[in-house]
Structure formats: structure tokens, C-alpha cells
Amino acid sequence: MGDACKSKVCNPPAPEASPVVKEKLAELVLDNDKLKKYIEIFTDNINRGLKKSTNPTSIVKCFPTYVQDLPNGTEEGKFLALDLGGTNFRVLLVELHGDQCEMKSKIFAIPQSIMTGSGEQLFDHIAECLATFCKEEGLEGEVLPLGFTFSFPLVQKGLTVGVLERWTKGFKCSGVVGNDVVQLLEQAISRRGDTKIDVCAILNDTTGTLMSCAWKNHDCAIGLIIGTGSNSCYVEKQANAELFDEPDMGSGEVLVNTEWGAFGDDGALDFCRTDYDKEIDKNSINPGYQVHEKMISGMYMGELVRLVIVKLIEDGVLFGGKGSDLINERDRFYTKYVSEIESDAPGSFENARQICEELGLKHAVDQDYVNLRYCCEVVSRRSAHLVSAGLVTLLHKMGKPVVTVGIDGSVYRFHPTVHDVMMEKMTELCDPSIKFNLMLSEDGSGRGAALVAAVAARKKDNSAPAPAAAPPSAEEAPAEG
């Protein structure tokens, strides 16, 4: 036994992918020079998005969200929240009391026909789900304040006005781009006539994530999603967010929704794109758009790995050059497989074997499982590295000494190593005088929506003239005891 093994248990070294596979996938590995180049270009894109004169031609839009204040933990009240933006639609009832939060929610599926149908159908469906929920919860008589988490690029013109710039993530409903989605929701609700709501805020899921995390952690200044889609928001000085056109309510800051998914739509990321990325884009519902998102997020990760596998099979270096009907089927290699395969203990192929069997690749041998895992690793690591470079750009831009990043989304939640890979890469890339921390944010889309509505209500109350003092009524008078 070698010296190193005497004091601790020695695991056998993890089996290595074949050199030929590694060589063929080298283009999917981003070294620090490439990531530094990314940071330089992305910084320029953010600055262009923020400035009034360059925003119209900027690819990264940096939309001001009109959220000027973070929660302070004293928010109170009962709120409805709607959450549209991923594979499901949710309605929530959220009750905030001090540092406690109670939530009830119901998930409704959005059928494919609605995702690509008319806007009217989509909003009628949302209104129907809301009415069903309110009935089930016995809320019919109440007019509750509502926060609407709508996770698509919105040009906000206030906290309750959001004009859709473009659809992303497989949605393409007609008649919505260019319109205020709050109005479309209100119209659909009044078409039914059985529910009453008071929309207090429309927000992006990144905003909800940041708010939800900031509720407990006052250093939180970035919200990040790595789920079906990918995006970030961060705390910017109002003076820098030139599109922000409301009076300062005191903080001097405003949350900016970067919409970083669009980064690269003008070719800025061509220096690190591959043919696999181009193929994903070509087959998508929105070719030419959301280039950065397509290299990162869960909607595309499994398909990217599938394209890599198919190429290696064609080249005769995986599965003995023999594929299957299923592996040739578009979107058949699910993103959850990537997490599952990378969750196998080193040297064990339990999940990999089962997935290969499911995909008709029963002829796989052990080295194929090792190579398959490597295919997953290069794609998920590249995603984590791009996100890390994006976050470091924002950390440098803000210049705050300590920042917590609130994060949500299925890839971050379920992938076994994305968090660690990000910590490692960000530490390498970030100015060492900035301390950062990555924190899973609990249910930003629900609780975050309620918090945005609650903070807005608090601000409104604080800015209203103080009511004339009146003697307390018998009921309100504090009990003496």
C-alpha cells in the first residue's frame, strides 16, 4: 500500500474517458482565456444595454424592473401569485407574517397546443386555472393583491406594466408580443367575470428569486435561473440604469433584468460556439435567438448531449459505432439523464446502464458508460462555466464587497456538480477582494412575487401622507393588563 493510502481509505481512480473521445470533445471545453474574453464582451453588452443611447441596438437589454427596494423581513399580508414561464403554470396563495411564510399552490399543465396557440387562449387558460384555485381555496369573495411572475423578456414601464418583447423557451402565442401582459390577464379575467384580483406587480423569475433570497439574506444582490431557460438580475445604481424613469424612493438602486439569454444573438459568442450549438438553434422554435441560453439551460442540455453522442457513434468511437432508433430521435435524451448519469458513483454505471437500456443501447460496454459520462460532463461543465463568467461580470460591475447570489432552476437544483463547478470557476475568475456565496433560493416565483407586491405596498403606505391621528376605537385600543 502506498504511503498516501495508509491514513485514509483509497478509492480506485475514476475510470477515464478514451483519449479519442476527449480529443473530439475538446471544443466544448472553455479555458480561462476564453472565459475572460467572454467577461470582456459581456461587460460591454451590459453597459450598452443600460445606456439610453445604445439600448435600442443592444442585444442584452438590461430592463429596469421598477423594484427599488429589497424586503426587510417585516412584510405582512395575504397574496395571490401566478407563475408562468417553465413547463408548468402555478397558482399560489402566499401568507407572509414577519419571518414566516406559508404557501399553498396548485400546478396546472400548459398543453403544447396552448404554448403555441393564440394569446387569448393562453390567458383564458390562466384565468380559468386562477378561478379554479380561488374556488377550491374559498377565496371567491376576496380581492387579493396579486404578483404575476411572467418569465419572459418584458419591457417594463412600471411595476404593473410589462410589454412582451419576445417569447422564449418553446412558447409562441400569437398576439402577445408588443402588448402589456397585465392587461391581457385582466381582460381574460373579466371575460369570465367570476374572479376579482388586484395586480400589484409583474416580475421576472430572476427578480422573484433575488427577492425571495434577500428576504432572509441581506447580502443577496443577484438572482439567477438555470432551469428550462437561463437569466439573471442584479442590483444596479439608478444613475447607471438610464432607462429607469421613476423617482428615487430612497434606495438609489433598482433591480435590472439582464435577459442574458439573448447574449450572442449578434455573433458575439461565435468564438466559443460549436456545430452542436448551431444544430440546436436551427431546430428550435426561435432560430437565431437566445444563443447564450441555448448553450446553458435545461431545455437544451439533454439535446446537446444527444447530438454529441450521435456524432461520436457516427465517428465509430462510442457504442461500437452502433446507435439505436431512439438515440436518433430529437429531444429523446432528457436533461434529467445528464444529472442521473453524473450522479453515478465513480466506477459505477447503474444509472448510465439503465438509461442506455431505455434508449435501446443494450450493446454498451463499460468504457462506453465512462465515455457517455464524459459527454454529459463536458456539456454541463460548459454550462456552469458560462454562467460563472456571467456572474463574475455582474460581481465586477456592481463592485460590492460581499454578494450572495440567489439561484433557482432545475439544473442548479438537481445536477450533482454544477454548484461546485461554479464555486471553483468563479473563485478563479473573480477579483479576490469580492466575496461571494451561491445560495439555493426557495420558491422565488411564488414567495418572491408576494414579496415584490408586499414591498410595493409598504412603499406606497410610507409615501402616502400620514392620516390624521384619531383616538383608537374600543376594538383597536391596546388591551391593558
Residues that bind ligand BGC (CB under 6 A): 85, 151-153, 168-169, 204-206, 225, 227, 229-231, 259, 261, 293
Among the listed residues 61, 69, 83, 169, the single catalytic one is 169
Distance CA 284, CA 219 (A): 38
Q: Measured from the CB of residue 241, what is the shortest distance to ligand BGC in angstroms? A: 17
Q: 30 or 226: whose CB is closer to ligand BGC?
A: 226
Contact residues for 13 (Cβ-Cβ < 8 A; gap 6+): none
How many residues are recorded in the chain?
481
* Cβ at position 227, least distance to ligand BGC in Å: 6
Closest to 234 (Cα-Cα) out of 225, 243, 246, 247: 225
| Residue closer to ligand BGC, measured from CB, 236 or 293 | 293
In this structure, which amino acid lies at residue 158?
Answer: G
CB of 126 to ligand BGC, least distance (A): 17
The minimum distance between CB 221 and ligand BGC, in angstroms, equals: 17
Given 69, 83, 205, 281, the catalytic residue: 205
> What whole-number distance in Å separates Cα of residue 336 and Cα of residue 450?
30
Name 138's Cβ contacts closer than 8 Å, sequence gap at least 6. none
CA dihedral of residues 304, 310, 311, 314 (deg, nearest 10): 180
Asked if 351 and 343 touch (Cβ cutoff 8 Å), the reply is yes
Q: Which is nearer to ligand BGC, 85 or 145 (CB)?
A: 85
Which residue of the chain is nearest ligand BGC when measured via CB?
Answer: 229
Residues 49 and 47: their CA atoms lie apart, in Å, by 5
Nearest to 79 by CA among 453, 444, 462: 453
CA–CA gap between residue 370 and residue 140 (Å, rounded): 56
**Crossing angle for the helix pair 366-398 and 418-429, to the nearest 10 degrees:** 50
Q: Name which of 145 and 227 has its Cβ closer to ligand BGC.
A: 227
Nearest-approach distance from CB 150 to ligand BGC, in angstroms: 8
Active-site residue, 169 included:
yes
Q: Which is nearer to ligand BGC, 356 or 387 (CB)?
A: 387
> Active-site residue numbers?
169, 205
